[in-house]
Structure 1
Amino acid sequence: MKHAVIAIFFALTACASAAGGPEPLPGSLTYGGKVVHSPYRPGTVVKNTFLGKFGYRVFETYVVQPNGTLKLTSQSTGPDFLWQ
């Protein structure tokens, strides 16, 4: 049963991300319209990881834009533990 719920969750997440660009979640660096300026050079990839809803780990990738702000380019979720 757990595996079915997880599979449905990932399928729905994939559908939501295919509709458009990823949207910031609570815990994201740019959530709520925050503008984050990075000290890194444009084109640098910045990764962020945080614990999201229901105990799932959220993995995000940002790219530094020419004006120094961060753009969310990808977002995925996974369990916060490994199945043994």
Structure 2
Amino acid sequence: MRITIAIAGLVMLLAGCTSDNSGTTAYLDMGPGIRPIPGSITYGGQPRTRLTKAPVGSIVPHEFRNQLGQRVEETYIIQPDRSLKLVSRRVHRGPFWDD
């Protein structure tokens, strides 16, 4: 009887585990298919002003809150035509700022 209870408890414990990292406090988007979201520098098109003093290939970090109040960190790279290319986005899903 004790073995049955122990096995049932172990099964219930393992049933709560997932392999998709849903317990993490952030998720990361990377690659060429990232689309700007409200709050992104390039949302609605490239900014009117160009970064003329920063060298091509420079990394530009950007941090803001999304519509759900989650902290979003984005990384842009300055292209040869001085436009910004969004290369990664991390959305923190936790209830607190991760300072």
TM-score (norm 1): 0.69
- Residue in structure 1 matched with residue 35 of structure 2 by the alignment: 23
- Residue in structure 2 matched with residue 41 of structure 1 by the alignment: 55
How far apart, CA to CA, are the structure 1 residues paired with 2:95 and 2:61? Answer: 17
Gaps of 5+ in 1: 1-6
Structure number having the greater helix percentage: 1
Counterpart residue type for residue 34 of structure 1: Q
Larger relative CO (CA 8 A, sep 6+): 1 or 2?
A: 2
- Residue in structure 2 matched with residue 51 of structure 1 by the alignment: 65
Q: Which has the larger radius of gyration?
A: 2
How far apart, CA to CA, are the structure 1 residues paired with 2:58 and 2:68? Answer: 31
Identity of aligned residues (%): 36
- Residue in structure 1 matched with residue 13 of structure 2 by the alignment: none
- Residue in structure 2 matched with residue 4 of structure 1 by the alignment: none
Q: Runs of 4 or more off by more than 6 Å in structure 1?
A: none
- For this pair of structures, how many residues does the alignment match? 73
Q: CA RMSD in A?
A: 2.8
Counterpart residue type for residue 30 of structure 1: T
Gaps of 5+ in 2: 1-21
Change (3 A) 1:77 1:66: same
Contact 1:43-1:64 at 8 Å conserved across structures: yes
